[in-house]
Amino acid sequence: MTNSQLLQFLIGTVLVILFSWFVSIREKRYHGIPRFFAFEGLLLLGLLQRPVWFSDPFAPRQIVSWILLTICIYYIMAAVILYFRHARPGVNFENSTKLVTTGLYKFVRHPMYASLLLLGWGMFFKSIHPASIALILVITLALYLTCKVEEKEMIKRFGKEYEDYMERTRMWIPGTL
């Protein structure tokens, strides 16, 4: 890792710590803890993969990468628009007062985390090597744990309504776990 990458990683880490504290952990929403590790993994993977982002553009791995990144953009845009239109968040945008179950949320419980997962896998396919394999596994596990912790928080907030939603809606990708 170059000095420039190290500095970018340190600045990014400080920003991720601040985000995790002020948006989640301070308000006793502990899904912010595993999400911190997902963000850190994404930051590190992005920094490591940046030099090969556009190399060999028609290689199958690059095509898969761009497909995943394109789906990632759709997921995050659709999720954020629906969330702010329907969730009625409080002062902290994570504190929704209404469960969103329409649009993409009708098929996926965690489209914002799914977008992070797609981002990670899209970056992973830019260049497959031992460090990228280790990072994508950490990112995937951290996002899975984030979802599981957040689901417990959502059950406390919305009760049976969220439990019913969990039974009929997939975690990340329609038709999967």
Rounded to the nearest 10 degrees, what angle do helices 3-19 and 32-49 cross at? 160
Q: How far apart are CA 138 and CA 120, in angstroms?
A: 10
- For the chain, 177 residues long, the average pLDDT of each consecutive 10-residue run is 91 95 87 95 96 92 96 95 85 82 93 97 97 98 97 95 94 75
Q: Residue 101 has what pLDDT?
A: 93
Which residue, among 113, 170, 150, has the nearest Cα to 121 in the 3D structure? Answer: 113
3 state DSSP class of 108: strand
Q: Is residue 175 domain-resident?
A: no
CA distance 32 to 19: 9
Identify whether 78 is part of a domain. yes
Q: Which two tokens stand for residue 1?
A: 């890792």
DSSP code of residue 22: I
On whether residue 164 sits in a domain, the answer given is yes
- 177 within a domain of the structure (yes/no): no
The whole-number pLDDT of residue 96 equals 83
On whether residue 173 sits in a domain, the answer given is no
Residue 110, domain member (yes or no): yes
Predicted local distance difference test score (pLDDT) of residue 176: 64
CA nearest 117: which of 11, 45, 29? Answer: 45
CA quadruple 170, 171, 175, 177: dihedral sign:
negative
Range of the domain at 67: 3-168
CB of 102 closer than 8 Å to CB of 5: no
- Residue 172: what pLDDT? 87
Find, among 38, 157, 26, the residue nearest to 89 by Cα.
157
Total number of domains constituting the chain: 1
